[in-house]
Structure 1
Amino acid sequence: MSDKHDAGGVPTTGHVWDDDLGDFTNQPPKWWMLGLAASAIWCVVYFLYYPSIPVSNAHGYFKGLGHWTAITEMEADKSVVDEVRGKYEAKLKDMTPAAILADSELTEYVTRSGKVLFGDNCAACHGTNGVGTVDKQGLFAPILRDDDWLYGGKIDDIYTSIVGGRQGLMTPHKGVLSDQQIDDVAHYVKAMSDEGKSAADTDSAVAAGKKVFTESDCTACHGADGKGMQAMGSANLTDKVWRFDGSLEGIKQTIANGVNAGPDARIAVMPSFQAAGKLSDAELKKLAVYVYKFGGGQADAPATK
């Protein structure tokens, strides 16, 4: 301790460094000691109140004097949420999806809760927010945000699709039509989408394809104008929306092998969520309203997805 800095009579530990440095033996401030003691008491109380160390008995661990568990806290929080949701859930039981849409407050509730249901049950195929997906084999899960619907995009149509599922069927034409005929029809179908039917008639291959299209069973499902039939779920061939590969080779493959009709056929199956038994009737309604609120099904244009 230097002569210029007198210890003022405060005792030291007796240790000296560098000839003049020593340690005082002052006690910490009382507020600091009280805080230390309070912290120690708090640790003991916390340790005793909540589950802590494992013990060698049938319970497996010390459960704590408060018997707290994460499960009981979750259930308490859930009961609060269920109480808030209860008035809405009670109304849903006896309402149709269309009636739900007519109630703005209930629609807002259903849209918010339907987002979770869609993420858990639908997003794997249709993508987040219904943007659609395409896998490595070119299998396409339809976009739910546009106005192109095979089975109709109105609220009742969507509900029916979710509840009962959908499974399209197109017979394979390999063996029924020659390779040349399949090629011609593919050119005609491609031209209808790319150019419009009137412009397509000028090409010889397309003209030949039109003749095959008209004389074979194509018109029975897709109509003489190629615009499809919603009641059958047959595709509109005159727009630029394709369920599968819309290239010339892709169209030929679909015509030759069909859809859901054999080992080489295209696969287009929407499962029945009601038959699966995973979702309640109220949850099926929520999904229908949620998908409808994407906006695609609300247009007045002809629905042909």
Structure 2
Amino acid sequence: MAGDKKVETTGHQWDDEEGHPLQEYNNPLPTWWLYAFYACIVYAVIYWILFPAWPTMGSEEFTKGVLGWSNVKQLTQEMARAQEAKKPFDARLAALPLEEIAKNNDLFQYALAGGKSVFANNCVPCHGSGGTGAKGYPNLVDDDWLYDGTLADIQLSINNGRSGQMPAHLNTAGGAFGAEQVNALVEYVLKISGQAHDAALAKQGDALFHGDGACFSCHGDHGKGSLLDTVANQKLDKSVGAPNLTDAIWLYGGDRQTVHTTVASGRSGQMPAWGDGYTGLGKKLDPLDVKKVALFVHSLGGGR
């Protein structure tokens, strides 16, 4: 093309059989590219001098750089500053009861942010990332609670843990009833929960529920659970944790087969204790973290 710079040859030439010579050209890189390349080399040398760069032969050490900077040191400094910034908020959290914290929007939002982090690191494996639970693990976003959903009760559950024991009733599983009696109890539970059932067996189950089975002593005279129902003339006992059998909310499932398994073989539910003086799942939360996660769980929508 007109105006193109002519490329010189090196003078080296090969002749081919058809009379067209092959020539070796000398086409150097643009000057600006060379300068940029040299600048990169200079920059790299300066970087090696200033910052950590090269591993030391035969060890896990490395050249430190004259500035003494490192990602670890920067992270440590930033974390220390963050801890200092948190101290005034944590002091107020420690001093105030949960109900007062919930009324202070700035402090409440700070507690929720911390509680969300604590929940994600410790509670998600059982209760799920959204707190909706799974089979055998309670849903924390509805208003159905075994031990009540007030701030104080949630804090107590987290700090001290809970142990829910449903005894086995089938004689071959350690209980006192035969197969027909267990079937009768199952049909009665299906009846009071509004499901299809055998009326004759349910009538027998009613007698067992309020008699030899003593189911009413935990679930209440009407089967509504220990938070809503109890034996006549007795006070409600929040520590029992017996579920409501008349609604459609089931921890393990409400179909006939699952209810039969529960009545026959029993259930053993364990909420680990996370508070000071307990080990939880090999971990322990400090009192502030217990407060934060209690406020977070209460805020999920089901708290009373």
TM-score (norm 2): 0.80
- Deviation of 1:48 after TM superposition, in Å, equals 1.4
Farther off after superposition, 140-149 or 15-24:
15-24
> Within 5 A, what are the aligned runs for 1:58-207?
60-134=61-135, 140-175=136-171, 176-195=176-195, 203-207=199-203
SS state at 1:194 partner: coil
Cα distance change on mapping 1:25 and 1:184 into 2, 3 Å: closer
The question of whether the paired residues in 1 share the 8 Å contact of 2:140 and 2:300 is answered with yes
Q: Are 1:145 and 1:296, in contact at CA under 8 Å, matched by a contact in 2? A: yes
Superposed CA deviations along residues 56-95 of structure 1, whole A, max 9, x for unmatched, are: 4777322222222221011122233224323212211212
State the shift of 1:245 in Å. Answer: 2.9
Distance 1:6 1:210 in 2: 102
Q: Which of 196, 207, 213 is matched with 2:209 structurally?
A: 213
Does the Cα contact within 8 Å between 1:13 and 1:24 map onto a contact in 2? yes
Residues matched between the structures, number: 278
For residues 143 and 5 of structure 1, what CA distance do their matches in structure 2 show? 78
1:118, distance to aligned residue in structure 2 (A): 0.7
RMSD across aligned positions (CA): 3.0
Distance (Å, rounded) in 2 between the aligned partners of 1:87 and 1:287: 19
* Distance across 1 between alignment mates of 2:27 and 2:182: 101
Q: Percent identity?
A: 32
Alpha carbons 2:154, 2:294 under 8 Å: kept: yes
Q: Do the aligned partners of residues 7 and 14 (structure 1) sit closer, same or farther apart at CA in structure 2, a change above 3 Å counting?
A: farther
Question: What letter is aligned with 2:262?
Answer: T
After superposing the two structures, state which structure 1 stretch, 168-177 or 65-74, moved more. 168-177
Q: Distance between the aligned counterparts of 1:146 and 1:6, measured in 2?
A: 77
Paired letter, 1:256? A
Matched AA of 2:183: D
Pairing partner for 1:279 from 285, 297, 301: 285
- Following superposition, the deviation at residue 32 of structure 1 comes to 5.2
Distance, in Å, in 2 between the alignment partners of 1:206 and 1:226 is 14
**Alignment partner of 1:132: what SS?**
coil
Aligned-residue offset at 1:12: 6.6
Q: Deviations over 1:90-113 (max 9, x none)?
A: 211212222221111111111122
Contact conserved, 2:166 with 2:268, CA < 8 A, in 1? Answer: no
The answer as to whether partners of 1:96 and 1:285 remain within 8 angstroms in 2 is no
Alpha-carbon contact 2:165-2:268 (below 8 Å) kept: no
* CA distance in structure 1 between the partners assigned to 2:75 and 2:114 by the alignment: 19
- SS of 2:130's equivalent in the other structure is helix
Q: Which has the higher contact order (CA 8 A, sep 6+)?
A: 1
Deviation for aligned residue 1:220: 1.0
Measured against aligned partners, the alpha-carbon deviations of 1:116-157 in whole angstroms (never above 9, x if no partner) come to 2111111101111101123xxxxx101111110000011111
Q: Secondary structure at the match of 1:285?
A: helix
- Give how far 1:252 is off: 2.0
Q: What 5-or-longer segments of structure 1 have no aligned partner?
A: 135-139, 259-265, 299-305
Partner residue, 1:291: 297
Asked whether the equivalents of residues 125 and 133 of structure 1 are also in contact (C-alpha less than 8 Å), the reply is yes
**In the TM superposition, what is the alpha-carbon distance from 1:161 to its structure 2 partner?**
0.5
Give the drift of 1:16. 7.3
- Unmatched 5+ stretches in structure 2: 15-19, 228-237
> Which structure 2 residues correspond to residues 27-38 of structure 1 after superposition, within 5 A?
28-29=30-31, 34-38=35-39
Partner of 2:221: 224
CA distance in 2, matches of 1:256, 1:68: 65
8 Å contact from structure 1 (residues 126, 143) kept in 2: yes
Distance 1:7 1:268 in 2: 84
**Match for residue 262 of structure 1?**
none
Partners of 1:141 and 1:22 in 2: how far apart?
77
Q: Deviations over 1:27-75 (max 9, x none)?
A: 955x555544432221110011122222347773222222222210111
